[in-house]
A and B are shown apart, each in its own frame.
Chain A
Amino acid sequence: MAATEPKGHGQHAGLWVFPDVSVMSREVTEKTKSSPRPLTMALVVTGILFVLGIVGFIARAADDGFNDISAWGYYLSVFSMVFMVTSGAPLAAVAFRFTKSHWRRPLSRVSELFAIAGILNILLFIPLMFLLPSIGNPDAVGGLIEGELAVRRTIWFEAPIGSPHAWDLVGVAGLVVTALFILWLSAMPDMAESRHTATGFRRTLYSKLSGNWYGTKKQWNAQKAGLALLGAFYFMTLIFMQFVISSDYAQSLIPGWKDSIFPVIYTITSLHMGLGAVLVTLFILRRFGGYDGYIGKSTFWSASKVMLGITLLWIYHLFAFFITFWYGRLEVEQNIIKYLITDTYAIIFLLNLAFSFVLPFAVLIWNPVRRSDWGPALAGGLLIVGGIMFNIRIFVGSANAAPGSDIYAYFFEHVPSPVYPDIWDVFMVIGGLAAAAFVYLLATRLLPVLSLWEVKEGALYQKWGKLHRGEYLILGKPE
C-alpha cells in the first residue's frame, strides 16, 4: 500500500500522497484484471441504456427519416455532448503534460482513456452527414433565387466539393485517431512492462501494441517528443473541429446568426465537460476504486484552480456575446437573444447558467472545498450537467430555428416556440451518454487507469525535505 506522508507544517497535511512504486505496478495490474461487482453492475446498466438509445434512434429514423433536421435536434445535441466530453477530456492530459505539472501524473491516463470512448463520435456523426441541409439553396437551382439567398451562410464560403459533410467526418475521424495515437504512445511503456505477466487477451494486446519497447534512452526521448508533437497537433485539430462543428451544426442553421464568439464558448463548454468527467472519474477511483494511495488530493486541488478559471471564462464569454447583441438593436440579434436566452429556451438557459457558472463557482470559491477531493468532483459533475443543458439549448434550438426551406432566409425574423423531447429523444439522449460511459468502463478493463510510468517518474522529482525546523515539499523541475 502507499506510504503515508510525513506531517507537514500548516494546513497542507493530507494533500500529497507518495506512491510506493515497488508494489504499484502489480497492484494496478491486479485492479485492471479484476472486475468487482459494482463495476459489472454499472456495465450492465449502461449497456441496457445503450440499447435503449439505439432503439430510440431507430424509432426516430422510422418516424421522420433523414430529410428534415428539425426532428433530430436532440440527436444533434447528444452527439455534441459525447463529442465535447470525449474530445475535451484528453486535452487535460495533453495540456498539463505540456506545462510539466507534477500533479497531472495520476490524471493523465484517466483523461486519455476517453479517446477510446471517442470512437463513438464517428458512429454518431455518420447520420448527421445526411441530416445537414446542403449549403447551396435548392430553390436557387432553378434560378428562382439569386445573390445572397442562393447559398446558406456557412464557414464554407464557396462550398468546395463535398463540404461540409464529408470534411466534417474526416475532421472528426482525424481527431479521434490523433487521440488514440496519443493514448497508444503514452500507454506503451506500461503495456510493455506487463506484456509478459499479463494473461489472456491482454497479453496478446499488450505485446502487439507495445512493439519492441525496451525503455532505452532513445525510446524515451522519442516518446516524449512524439507526445509533445501529437499533443500540439491534437490541440490545434480540436480547436478547429469544434469551430467547424459548432458553426456548421448550430450557427449556420439559424439564419443571420453571426456570432464570432460562439465557437469559443463551445470550446470552453467542452473543456468544462471534459475536465468535469475526468475529475468525477478520479474521485470514483480514489474513493471506491482503492486508488487513494496513488491519487492525492493535490491533483484535485490544482485541477480545481483550472476549473475555477474556465468557469469564469465561460460566463465572461457569454456576457461578451450577450452585451454585444443586446446593445445593438438589430432585429436579427434581438430575435436570437429572445430565442436562445430570454423567451423560447429561457428555462434551459437558466439551468445552463446555474450549472455552468453559478453553482460550480459557489462550490469552488472556498479554499477548503478546493482542497478536498469531493469538492472539485462535485463541481465537475455540475459542469457536466451544465454542458448538457448548453447542448440542448443550442442544438435543439438551431435545428428547429428555421425548418424546411426557411433555413435559406437571410434574417431570423420570427421567433419559434420551443420543441420538447418525445420518448425517443429521451431514449437517445440517455442512451448516447450511457454509451460513452459503457465504452469507457470497458476501456478501463483494457488498460491500467493509472499512467504507471508517469507516476514513477513523478516519484523521482517530489519528496519531503527539511528546511531548518520546518518540513516542506521539494519539487524538482527537470529541463
Chain B
Amino acid sequence: MVTQRANHKWGMVVDLDKCTGCQACVVACQAENNIPINVKSFYQQRRAYQWIRIERYWEGEFPNVKARFIPILCQHCENAPCEPVCPVFATYHNDEGMNVQVYNRCIGTRYCSVNCPYTVRMFNYWEPQWPNRLRNQLNPDVTIRTRGIMEKCTFCVQRLRRGEVNVERRGLEPLTGERIPVGDRNLDSKRMKEGNYMPACVQSCPTNALMFADQHDDTSPVKEIFEEANEQIETRHHGGHVDEEHTRVYRLFEEIGTKPNVIYLKKVDAFPLEKA
C-alpha cells in the first residue's frame, strides 16, 4: 500500500555571511553524484564538472583586498530559460519545483547550457573515467553520464526519493525507525535532517551556510525567507518600493525573471573596506 506523497516545493537558501569558501560542498557533490575527476586539463580547457562551484571575487585594491565567495549551483528556476529550448524534452520542471534533467533523452544540442544565465549546466566533452581504485566509491543511486549529454545539479534527488520512500510511504522515523502514524507522514525539516535526506552540499557545509527544505513545510527555516522574497516581488509589481538597505534576501539575476528556487542572503560586512 502506497500512500499519496505530500506535494513539496524544494528550495535552498545560501547565507553568504556564513560562507567561508571552503569548497566542502564541491567535494561532497563530487563524491555523491559520480562526477568525473576534474583533472588539470579540464580546468585549463574550462570544461571542469562542478555541479556546485565556489566563485571567488576580489574586492578592493592590493594591499587592502577582501575575498568574496559565492557558491553557485543550478538555481532550479521556476521560469527556467533552459527548459523550453530543449527539442527532446530532456529537461523540464517537475511538480516539486525542481528542474530535472533526463539523461536518456538528451541528444546534446547544448542549447540549454547556452540559454542558462548561471552557466551551471555541464556538458560531457569526454567519456567519464575513474581510476580503478575509485570504482567502488561510485554512488549506486546515481547514473553515470555518458559523453555528449548535459548534466547539472539535481538537488540530490536520489536522497529526497529515499526520504519519501522511507518516511512518506513506509512511514519509518529516520532515527529510531519506529512507525509514524499515517496522519503525519510528512517529510518535515526535522526528519530530513535526521535522515540526511538533503543534498550532499547542505549536509557537508561546516558553517551551515546552505539551508535546504520544503517551502511548504511550516517547520522549515527557509519558509519565511522565501515568503519575504516573494513579498518583495509583489510590492514591486504594485508600484511599491523595496528598501534595499533593510533586507538581505535576493535572487541571482532577478531582472531576468527566472524566479530561482535558490535564495541568497547578502553578506553583512562588519569591517567594510575604506574606499580608497
Q: Which A residues are closer than 8 A to B by beta carbons? A: 327-332, 334, 411, 413-414
Do residues B239 and A331 form an inter-chain contact, with CB atoms below 8 A? no
Can you offer 25 A-B residue contacts whose CB atoms are under 8 A? A327-B84, A328-B81, A328-B256, A328-B257, A329-B79, A329-B81, A329-B256, A329-B257, A329-B258, A329-B259, A330-B255, A330-B256, A330-B257, A331-B255, A331-B257, A332-B255, A334-B257, A411-B255, A413-B236, A413-B237, A413-B239, A414-B236, A414-B237, A414-B238, A414-B239
Closest-by-CB residue of B relative to A332 is B255
Count B interface residues, CB 8 Å: 12
Contacts of B79 in A (CB 8 A): 329
Contacts of B259 in A (CB 8 A): 329
Contacts of A329 in B (CB 8 A): 79, 81, 256-259
Closest-by-CB residue of A relative to B85 is A327
A106 CB, nearest partner CB in chain B, Å: 52
Contacts of B238 in A (CB 8 A): 414
Contacts of B258 in A (CB 8 A): 329
Interface residues of B in 240-259 (CB under 8 A from A): 255-259
Q: Mark B74-105, 1 if CB is under 8 A from A, else 0.
A: 00000101001000000000000000000000
Contacts of A414 in B (CB 8 A): 236-239
Query: How long is the Cα–Cα vector from A329 to B236 in the complex, in angstroms?
Result: 16
A344 CB, nearest partner CB in chain B, Å: 14
Query: How long is the Cα–Cα vector from A329 to B84 in the complex, in angstroms?
Result: 11
Closest-by-CB residue of B relative to A414 is B239
Query: How long is the Cα–Cα vector from A332 to B254 in the complex, in angstroms?
Result: 11
Closest-by-CB residue of B relative to A331 is B257
Q: Which B residues are closer than 8 A to A by beta carbons? A: 79, 81, 84, 236-239, 255-259
Contacts of B255 in A (CB 8 A): 330-332, 411
The A interface, classified by DSSP as helix, strand, loop or mixed, is: loop
Contacts of B257 in A (CB 8 A): 328-331, 334
Closest-by-CB residue of B relative to A334 is B257
Closest-by-CB residue of B relative to A415 is B237
Closest-by-CB residue of A relative to B254 is A331
Given contacts A413-B237, A414-B236, 17 further A-B contacts (CB under 8 A): A327-B84, A328-B256, A328-B257, A329-B79, A329-B256, A329-B257, A330-B255, A330-B256, A330-B257, A331-B255, A331-B257, A332-B255, A411-B255, A413-B236, A413-B239, A414-B237, A414-B238
Closest-by-CB residue of A relative to B236 is A413
B77 CB, nearest partner CB in chain A, Å: 9
Contacts of B256 in A (CB 8 A): 328-330
Query: How long is the Cα–Cα vector from A330 to B256 in the complex, in angstroms?
Result: 5
Closest-by-CB residue of B relative to A333 is B257
Closest-by-CB residue of A relative to B79 is A329
Query: How long is the Cα–Cα vector from A202 to B176 in the complex, in angstroms?
Result: 108
B169 CB, nearest partner CB in chain A, Å: 35
Contacts of A411 in B (CB 8 A): 255
Contacts of B81 in A (CB 8 A): 328-329
Contacts of A327 in B (CB 8 A): 84
Contacts of B84 in A (CB 8 A): 327
Contacts of B236 in A (CB 8 A): 413-414
Contacts of A334 in B (CB 8 A): 257
Query: How long is the Cα–Cα vector from A168 to B155 in the complex, in angstroms?
Result: 56
Closest-by-CB residue of B relative to A411 is B255
Query: How long is the Cα–Cα vector from A332 to B255 in the complex, in angstroms?
Result: 8
Closest-by-CB residue of A relative to B256 is A330
Closest-by-CB residue of A relative to B259 is A329
Query: How long is the Cα–Cα vector from A334 to B255 in the complex, in angstroms?
Result: 11
Contacts of A332 in B (CB 8 A): 255
B92 CB, nearest partner CB in chain A, Å: 15
A362 CB, nearest partner CB in chain B, Å: 33
The 5 closest A-B pairs by CB, nearest first: A329-B79, A329-B257, A414-B239, A331-B257, A330-B257
Query: How long is the Cα–Cα vector from A328 to B258 in the complex, in angstroms?
Result: 9
Contacts of B237 in A (CB 8 A): 413-414
A153 CB, nearest partner CB in chain B, Å: 14
A414 CB, nearest partner CB in chain B, Å: 4
Query: How long is the Cα–Cα vector from A329 to B115 in the complex, in angstroms?
Result: 12
Closest-by-CB residue of A relative to B77 is A329
Query: How long is the Cα–Cα vector from A215 to B259 in the complex, in angstroms?
Result: 72
Closest-by-CB residue of A relative to B237 is A414
Closest-by-CB residue of B relative to A330 is B257
Query: How long is the Cα–Cα vector from A328 to B202 in the complex, in angstroms?
Result: 31
Closest-by-CB residue of A relative to B233 is A331
B213 CB, nearest partner CB in chain A, Å: 25
Query: How long is the Cα–Cα vector from A327 to B111 in the complex, in angstroms?
Result: 15
B230 CB, nearest partner CB in chain A, Å: 14
Query: How long is the Cα–Cα vector from A329 to B233 in the complex, in angstroms?
Result: 14
A304 CB, nearest partner CB in chain B, Å: 40
Query: How long is the Cα–Cα vector from A411 to B79 in the complex, in angstroms?
Result: 19
Contacts of A328 in B (CB 8 A): 81, 256-257
Closest-by-CB residue of B relative to A327 is B84
Query: How long is the Cα–Cα vector from A411 to B238 in the complex, in angstroms?
Result: 13
Query: How long is the Cα–Cα vector from A310 to B256 in the complex, in angstroms?
Result: 34
Query: How long is the Cα–Cα vector from A327 to B83 in the complex, in angstroms?
Result: 12
Query: How long is the Cα–Cα vector from A330 to B79 in the complex, in angstroms?
Result: 10
Closest-by-CB residue of B relative to A416 is B239
